Amino acid sequence: MIVIQARPLVDSSVQLWPPLQTVELSFRLDREYLYDLEHIQTLLSFIEFGKTNWAYMFSNSKGAHQIVQRQRSLYKISTPTWVPRIEEQEITYVKWILVDMRMGRWKEKDVDVILGYEDHYLQRVEATMNGYRRLEGLDITYAVLAHVISGDGSVIGVVTEPEVGRLVQAQDRSLVYDAITRLQRRNLIYCGIHWSKIHILDGKVRLSNLASIFYIEDLGELEKKAEKRHWQALEALFASLDPNDEEPKQAPERALKPIAYQLLPGCPAPERPRFIRFLLTTYLPQGFPNKKRFSKSERTNARSCQRSVVAPSVESVSAEGLEVDREDVTDLPLSIHRQNNRQHSRRESKLLLPGQPYWHCHRRKGPLLLNSSNGDSDDSVL
């Protein structure tokens, strides 16, 4: 995977969460998102996958874009591992849920994978590991099966049992209260009490989002936090449940439609197209750097381009023997450009095949993630 970081789409003063953006702003964000994606597509053949974990996309006053790759030092997880350490290549992904959550297969088993690709999400992975260790022996979590490591041996993710338990129902009150009581006896606070984060599997409680487990040594402070985070939250949760509703429901993350593949052929593209999982995230760990910070050799080796690319239609892709689900592909018009080649001097609408970007309509304060292949509760703050 490589992260491509570009400049923010809108000024940081614009409030985008809660989602208060106007139709005009949403349209502009969509347009700029597709505009940047088009330039990435144009420069796709110049990206050296596997060379670095990070890249920056610059543009000049003439509209030319350039991608400069650089290896970036990321946060190192220090929590000791306790189950097998595996490389990410050993996992076969079958569904991407969110930017840091995926479903897959490992050793012929269905698994869930939590991965960190930059400092913020790596810290969440570490917090998740700490949460699992603190709850050991209580039998209220999904089992941890493996730790995912990068090429240098650093831990970057956790592989767990799939979170397939049903959502909590009104008749589960005593089970849930008992689980939270036992958790609190260890001086722990679970800030993830929410209808989507407490599951029931085989008659037992299974907690999700263990990055929201906190240890509090002072008993007075523990009781104070527990009153709000545990007992008031549980009362509100069960008050919202219909006692007559006994239909099992799955966690909302498992019902999400997977992030679709992006069909991004190179430019020109006579070769077999490269399929990419493309995610857009709002989180930016550091500010966007000045291009002058890069060495002359880094800037020289990067390629720049102003060309436009026309992605093939679904029909032409299918004709090449590639399977494309029409429900996962949407043709959206991009801006109209004039080709420099005289053979294409007429004005022509460009079509791209975008998938489902993460945080599609939000401010892009964060990076764009490319994974190449050929062929309502604040639970993070105590």
The domains of the chain are located at 2-73+271-374, 165-249
Residue with the bigger pLDDT between 303 and 16: it is 16
What's the confidence (pLDDT) of residue 41?
A: 81
Residue with tokens 């969440």: 124
User: CA-based Rg of the chain, rounded to a whole angstrom?
Assistant: 23
Distance CA 355, CA 90 (A): 26
Checking if the pLDDT of 266 tops 80, the result is: no
- 58-97 pLDDT, tens per residue? 887 777 888 899 999 999 999 999 999 999 999 999 888 8
Residue with the bigger pLDDT between 334 and 60: it is 60
Look up residue 134 and give its two tokens: 């603190």
Query: Which helix (H) or strand (E) segment is 98 a member of?
Result: strand 92-98
Distance CA 116, CA 100 (A): 6
Which stretch of 23-37, 59-73, 216-230, 324-338 has the lowest confidence by average pLDDT? 324-338
What's the confidence (pLDDT) of residue 288?
A: 60
Taking residues 313-317, report their average pLDDT. Answer: 36
What's the confidence (pLDDT) of residue 289?
A: 67
Residue with the bigger pLDDT between 43 and 297: it is 43
What's the confidence (pLDDT) of residue 376?
A: 47
Distance CA 171, CA 177 (A): 12
Q: How many CA atoms lie within 13 A of 76 on its CB side?
A: 6
The domain defined by 165-249 folds into Transferase(Phosphotransferase); domain 1 (1.10.510)
Checking if the pLDDT of 344 tops 50, the result is: no
Phi (first) and psi of residue 109, to 5 degrees: -125, 145
Distance CA 214, CA 134 (A): 9
Checking if the pLDDT of 137 tops 90, the result is: yes
Distance CA 245, CA 161 (A): 27
- 8 Å CB contact between 224 and 218: no
Q: Residue 44: CB partners within 8 Å, gap ≥ 6?
A: 264, 265, 266, 267, 274
What is the rounded end-to-end Cα distance, in angstroms, of the chain? Answer: 32
What's the confidence (pLDDT) of residue 19?
A: 55
When pLDDT is cut at 50, 70 and 90, the band that residue 227 belongs to is very high
Taking residues 333-348, report their average pLDDT. Answer: 33
The three-point CA angle 298-374-71 to 5° equals 25
Taking residues 96-114, report their average pLDDT. Answer: 91
Checking if the pLDDT of 327 tops 80, the result is: no
3-state secondary structure of 170: helix
Which stretch of 40-49, 65-74, 211-220 has the lowest confidence by average pLDDT? 40-49
Q: Residue 196: CB partners within 8 Å, gap ≥ 6?
A: 167, 208, 251, 252, 253
Out of 3-7, 162-166, 317-321, give the one with best mean pLDDT: 162-166
Distance CA 292, CA 289 (A): 8
Closest by CA position to 86, among listed 39, 13, 144: 144
When pLDDT is cut at 50, 70 and 90, the band that residue 267 belongs to is low
* Residue 31 CB coordination number (10 Å): 15
What percentage of the chain exceeds 70 in pLDDT?
63
- 8 Å CB contact between 289 and 54: no
Mean pLDDT of the chain: 75
Taking residues 318-327, report their average pLDDT. Answer: 38
What's the confidence (pLDDT) of residue 350?
A: 32
Which stretch of 20-34, 226-240, 297-311, 344-358 has the lowest confidence by average pLDDT? 344-358
When pLDDT is cut at 50, 70 and 90, the band that residue 175 belongs to is very high
Would you say how long the chain is, in residues? 382
